[in-house]
Amino acid sequence: MTKPYGYNGKIALIDLPDGGLRVLEPGEDWYRIHGGGGLLGAALLMTETRPGLDALGPENLLIFTSSVVAGQLAPGLARFSVVCKSPLTGGIAETRCEGPFGSFLKGSGFDAIAVRGRATIPSYIQVEDGAIRVVEARELWGMDTLATARKLKAAAGREDVSVAAIGVAGENLVRYASIVVDGSIQAMRMGVGAVMGSKKLKALVLVGSSLPPLADEEVVERVRQAFARDIETNTLCKFQKEDPGFAAYADLSDVETAYMGRDNYRGTVDHSLPSLARDRFLEHCVGMVACPGCPNDCIKIIDAGDRVDPSSAIHQEVTASLGPNVGNHDLGLLLEVNKACNLLGLDPVSTGFSISFAMECLEAGIITKAGLGGLDARFGNNAVLLPLIKMIASREGYGDALAEGVRRASARIGRGSERFALHVKGLEMVSFEPRTMTNLALGYATAPVGPRYDICEHDWDYDVTAGWGHTLELSRTLGILDRIPMQYVGPDKVRNYKALNTIWSACDALDICVFASAPTRALSLDMMADLVAGITGWKTSSWEIMRFGERRNHLMRLYNLREGLTADDDTLPSRFFEEPIGQGRLKGSVLDRDSFGAAIRSYYAMMGWDGQGIPLKETLLDQHLESYAPL
């Protein structure tokens, strides 16, 4: 086979405990269909695992995957994905992560590294200049993620090392444990760290990096220069680069727009949160986590201390989930609990909503203070946050129930606690309001990965009275021609959602960072196609880019159907249908079940799925996915 440009053409399948290796070399046509990221991962799960396996059993496949373009040194290409069966949802888990690890993964000699089985003792896998070995890691078990990364980098004896590790939450099989890269950035959501812990795998260590050659360096360089120029005038890119990025988001959310939930969605964030204002974040911004090849510098290290601590890198979701969602308006404490989640390897979003679930249960009299180990876990009692986080990570006391996620915790408790368990398909909610942003509501309900704050560009951006000024102009390439009220539900809103979700699904299939890309940031759809062409040498188009997004949605849907998820799972917690927004311009906004159900059915039809959300055979044939069709 002719050696490809830009990617390796090889996928490593590693069996634990002995490190047995099988290398797949699928060929260019296969890569042209499957691209990478969650799409490539879904293909491996469909072909390399049996239906119905236990997500925390040895048969589950833990996949670290790049794409045909990701990892190369160009804007938006620093991402990689982790894919497996989720211990929270029972369907597909896909999480994306930035930072240096993605470039090391591409430079490892493989486009994906997949791990099956379970080590007999704690171990880590090291890939050095293409050679793979399994190494004993007893002395690392129990270490936090930053200490683990530092120790393994020192042991490698080289500078060019990147480490993806779990903390004690993953070791204890907390169902929403994360994988943390170089002690800084989380591959969070859906419990990928628990799957890693179930294999007794402490870390994946990548040593050395030799990137595959580009097909046309001049084309890629033109994109680099155009992106560097355009981020200077793009409102969103400037916000990410010059301000504390999306770490500070609460002060963009005022009571008038009802953008962000508080207190487990019992209300919406009030604009009067001076302690969480952007200026306060900037006072504590001590550095950034550089993504190789991208000049936008989105991920900031924000620490209440006076030194650059990598474990203090923070994403916008954390500000919301462990801030207003639990009644916490103390920036210093917010930074402290974010750091604790990074070190312990806990998804701060699911952690925040597990804590807010417990808080609401306590205030409703469903659980007791004694049951929480004496903690008076009420909204706004900030003293309980760190103890609860540590209880969850170690599965101590009531933390053991919360470590199962809110769906399972509420099933244990009963007594009406299910009403406060805000999840979709078993995955905890995010803090961005679905009652007033119905594109997001559709995405939370129907996406194969459940609620994700970047499932599509937010409705606020397209609202008739709010949003960034440039969003509509840049989105016209997707057929979005008019501003639509945030809270509106109808067929034309579904049309917009499908377009917005498809382009970011394409980004996830190619591991292109959505915080760099179209429709509202500097990396346009045409520039994305130019990157694919310049890196791989393929003659491609923006149309083919969008097809990657459609194909990812179809194949992930097939996997979920295979694992028993159905159209009945495409819904939202009852709170969003029964409890209206209580104040502000959008007071009274609530989702209507019938209208929302009709919107979901419209989405199915637009996707080429039947009334039960099952992709039609013709749809799969159109997407080159007919080999995955159910018999």
Confidence at residue 76, expressed as pLDDT on a 0 to 100 scale? 96
In 128-277, alpha helices (H):
145-156, 168-171, 192-198, 217-230, 235-242
Distance from the Cα of residue 565 to its chain's centroid = 20
Task: Give the span between the Cα atoms of 435 and 426, in whole angstroms.
Answer: 20
* Closest residue by Cα to residue 429 from 365, 355, 375, 491: 355
Percent of the chain with pLDDT over 90: 82
- pLDDT the model gives residue 1: 57
The rounded distance, in Å, linking the Cα atoms of 484 and 466 is 10
- Residue range 433-450: average pLDDT? 97
Q: Which residues contact 543 (CB under 8 A, 6 or more apart)?
A: none
CATH 1.10.599.10 domain extents, the chain: 438-628
Cis peptide before 244 (omega within 30 of 0): no
Choice among 139-143, 309-313, 323-327, 410-414 with the minimum mean pLDDT: 309-313
CATH class of 218-422: mainly alpha
**Token output for 126:** 């090291």
Q: Is the pLDDT score of 102 beyond 80?
A: yes
For 73, residues 6+ apart whose C-beta sits below 8 A from its C-beta are 103, 211, 292, 293
Residue 257 is predicted with a pLDDT of 72
The stretch 215-244 carries a mean pLDDT of 90
Torsion 198-201-202-207 (CA) sign = negative
List the single range of 278-292, 322-336, 368-382, 512-526 with lowest mean pLDDT. 278-292
Name the band, by pLDDT with cuts 50, 70 and 90, for residue 246: low
Structure tokens given for 355: 């804590």
pLDDT at residue 20 in the model: 94
Average pLDDT for residues 206-221, to the nearest whole number? 96
> Taking all residues of the chain, what is their mean pLDDT, rounded to a whole number?
93
Give the pLDDT band of residue 585 (cuts 50, 70, 90). Answer: confident
The answer to which of 168-182, 233-247, 393-407, 591-605 has the lowest mean pLDDT is: 233-247
Q: What is the pLDDT of residues 538-549, one digit of tens each?
A: 999 999 999 999
Q: What radius of gyration, in Å, describes the C-alpha atoms of the chain?
A: 22
Q: Is residue 396 pLDDT above 60, yes or no?
A: yes
pLDDT at 418: 97
Q: CATH 1.10.569.10 region(s) of the chain?
A: 218-422
CA distances from 300 to 2, 152, 310, 338, 552 (A): 41, 24, 10, 13, 30
* Closest residue by Cα to residue 321 from 226, 427, 477, 173: 427
Looking at the predicted structure, is the pLDDT value of residue 438 above 80?
yes
The answer for residues whose C-beta is within 8 angstroms of residue 141's C-beta and 6 or more apart is 122, 171, 202
What pLDDT does 507 receive? 98
In this prediction, residue 249 has a pLDDT band, given cuts at 50, 70 and 90, of low
Say how far apart CA 115 and CA 107 lie, in whole Å.
Answer: 18
Section 487-504 average pLDDT: 97
For the stretch 216-219, contacts whose Cβ atoms lie closer than 8 Å and that sit 24 or more positions apart, written own/partner, are: 216/533, 216/534, 216/537, 217/534, 218/534, 219/530, 219/533, 219/534
Q: Which two tokens stand for residue 228?
A: 């560097």
290 confidence band (pLDDT: 50, 70, 90): confident
Length of the chain: 631
| In the predicted structure, residue 333 carries a pLDDT above the cut 90 | yes
Q: Which CATH number fits domain 438-628: 3.40.50.1370, 3.50.50.60, 3.30.700.30, 1.10.599.10?
A: 1.10.599.10
| Amino acid letter, 427 | L
**CATH, range 11-207:** 3.60.9.10
pLDDT beyond 80 at 243: no
- Which string of b and e fits 520-538 if b means at least 16 CB within 10 Å? bbbbbbebbbbbbbbbbbb
pLDDT at 254 over 60: no
- Of 111 and 316, the structure prediction assigns the larger pLDDT to 111
Return left, alpha or beta for 123; rule: phi > 0 is left, psi -120 to 50 is alpha, else beta. Answer: beta
In the predicted model, is pLDDT for residue 105 greater than 70? yes
Asked whether residue 289 carries a pLDDT value surpassing 80, the answer given is no
Q: Among residues 554, 175, 259, which one has the least CA distance to residue 432?
A: 259
Residues in CB range of 542: below 8 A, 6 or more apart? 477, 525, 526, 528, 529
> Mean pLDDT over residues 541-566, rounded?
98
Q: What tokens appear for 271 in the block? A: 């604009």
The span from the CA of 165 to the CA of 343, in Å, is 10
| CB proximity list for 431: less than 8 A, separation 6 or greater | 260, 261, 317, 320, 321, 324, 325, 349, 352, 453
CATH 3.60.9.10 residue spans of the chain: 11-207
Question: Greater confidence, 407 or 281?
Answer: 407
Say what the pLDDT of residue 307 is: 58
